[in-house]
Structure 1
Amino acid sequence: MKTIETLTGKQRSYLKGLANGVKPIAQIGKSGITENFIKQIDDALEARELIKVNVLENSLLDTKETANEVAKQTRAYFIQAIGNKFVIYRPSNKNPEIQIPR
């Protein structure tokens, strides 16, 4: 797998643009970040590379802190947090589709 150490502002902006049309595919509730949730996100990142997650209001979690923790546990990049949603990205090991500008 070709790894990128960090994303540039240009690359992050590109991914934000792609994330615009993406619907949240997972949500974090009262139980917070569980092992099962991380597995679900890991599988989703492998399949889609760029995903959006909804943090439910009843979870009482901070969206940005939660996003950074999920990104850390899944070895993904935190792209952005807006309101109660966040976007993370990780290139697929088996089938990378998103071409990030250099």
Structure 2
Amino acid sequence: MSISSEKKRHFRSLGHNLKPVVMVAGKGLSDSVVEEAQRALHDHELIKVKFAVGDREAKKAAIDELVKETKCELIQTIGNIALIYKENKEAKPNLSNVKSF
């Protein structure tokens, strides 16, 4: 799945006002965290995830693993926050103003 740069830019602007709905803490990426991220992506399509795990390499590894496990697209990372997206035709997200690309 590849998202155009124009669509990513739009998602970044939408994500600016979002609060993190999933948090990955010291114990890392557990099955329950992955399940919660999948549920949130199913419900909202675009979510923020906060990572409070060790150093940069540990954070990057956890982000990469979450993206792989949930089969989503990484839109942006800033500090300890990752903005991820997964399309769901059945979802009723707050993305009603998303343009068709």
TM-score interval (norm. to shorter): 0.7 to 0.9
Structure 1 residue runs without a partner (length 5+): none
Take 2:17 and 2:79, find their aligned partners in 1: how far apart are those partners?
16
**What CA deviation, in whole Å up to 9, does each residue of 1:22-46 have, x standing for no partner?**
0011111111011111000000000
Q: Which moved more, 1:61-70 or 1:32-41?
A: 61-70
Q: If the length of structure 2 is used for normalisation, what is the TM-score? A: 0.84
Q: Which runs of 4+ in 1 moved over 4 A?
A: none
Q: In structure 1, what is the equivalent of residue 78 of structure 2?
A: 82
Structure 1 38/94 Cα, relative in aligned 2: closer, same or farther at 3 Å? same
Aligned-pair Cα RMSD in Å: 1.7
1:17 Cα deviation after fit: 0.6
Aligned pairs, how many? 96
Q: Which moved more, 1:27-36 or 1:64-73?
A: 64-73
Matches within 5 A, 1:1-102: 5-56=1-52, 59-62=53-56, 63-95=59-91, 97=93, 98=95, 99-102=98-101
Structure 2 residue runs without a partner (length 5+): none
Q: If the length of structure 1 is used for normalisation, what is the TM-score? A: 0.83
The question of whether the paired residues in 1 share the 8 Å contact of 2:44 and 2:91 is answered with no
